[in-house]
Amino acid sequence: MAKEQLDRIIAAMATAPVGLGGPPPPVCVINGRDKIESMIPSIMAFYRKFSQGMKNTVGRVMMRTMMGKVQFTALDSFMPTIDRMLEFYDMTKHDTITWGAPVLMIFHAPKAHISGRHDTMIACTYAMLAAHAQGLGTTMIGMVPPYLERNPDEKERLKIPAENTVDISLIVGHPASKFVKGIRRPVATTWV
């Protein structure tokens, strides 16, 4: 993708609010489908191992102890989606993690920053809107951060400091479909 388009996205992120003031959280931009594609087998291997762990009694007990019951139940209900994703990849070699996108942006912030996770999510949202304003398509991808958080070598290769947490990623590309309107989902609103 043209660097100018990505520069405009980054310029928009520079105006994002940050919890403690100071600069916006850092972002790692992977520009080029070939570079993203080369990471896919390793991401799939990570999720395959993870899925096996979630089917194993000892693994389940460990995860439940680490995460707590509520989070574990939420994760467990998501496992069929992960299994379908792996099956589809095995059959077609088509990855439904980065969806063939040419650009992957990875948002991270120092673990020591009290508002780091909020800052990265806000910066990612600004990036999403700035991409959309240029006619680009985006999707936030939550499947990439767990892989990077458990693969320090890959994090290092991507120049993401070990003391930073990867919170969210964003795929950016040229949309195959033109959407004329967004889906309006009801907002649970309480007026007091």
Ligand X SMILES: Cc1cc2nc3c(=O)[nH]c(=O)nc-3n(C[C@H](O)[C@H](O)[C@H](O)COP(=O)(O)O)c2cc1C
Q: For residues 169 and 36, give the distance between their C-alpha atoms in angstroms, rounded to a whole number.
A: 12
Q: At what angle do helices 40-55 and 57-67 cross, to 10 degrees?
A: 100
Sheet holding 164-173, edge to edge: 27-31, 103-110, 164-173, 137-141
The alpha-carbon radius of gyration of the chain (Å, integer) is 18
Under the criterion CB under 6 A, does residue 139 sit at the interface with ligand X?
A: yes
**Site map (CB under 6 A) of ligand X, residues 153-182, x = contact:** ---------------x--------------
Under the criterion CB under 6 A, does residue 79 sit at the interface with ligand X?
A: no
Dihedrals phi, psi of 141, to nearest 5 degrees = -125, 110
* Cβ-proximal residue to ligand X, closest one: 142
Under the criterion CB under 6 A, does residue 183 sit at the interface with ligand X?
A: yes
Specify the residue, 67 or 85, whose C-beta has the smaller distance to ligand X. 85
Structure-block tokens of residue 50: 């993870």
Among 28, 82, 86, 143, which residue interacts with ligand X (rule: CB under 6 A)?
143
Specify the residue, 38 or 81, whose C-beta has the smaller distance to ligand X. 81
Among 142, 152, 161, 175, which residue interacts with ligand X (rule: CB under 6 A)?
142
| Site stretch for ligand X (CB under 6 A), options 1-9, 103-111, 133-141, 154-162 | 133-141
Q: For residues 192 and 184, give the distance between their C-alpha atoms in angstroms, rounded to a whole number.
A: 23
Residues contributing to the site for ligand X (CB under 6 A): 139-143, 168, 183
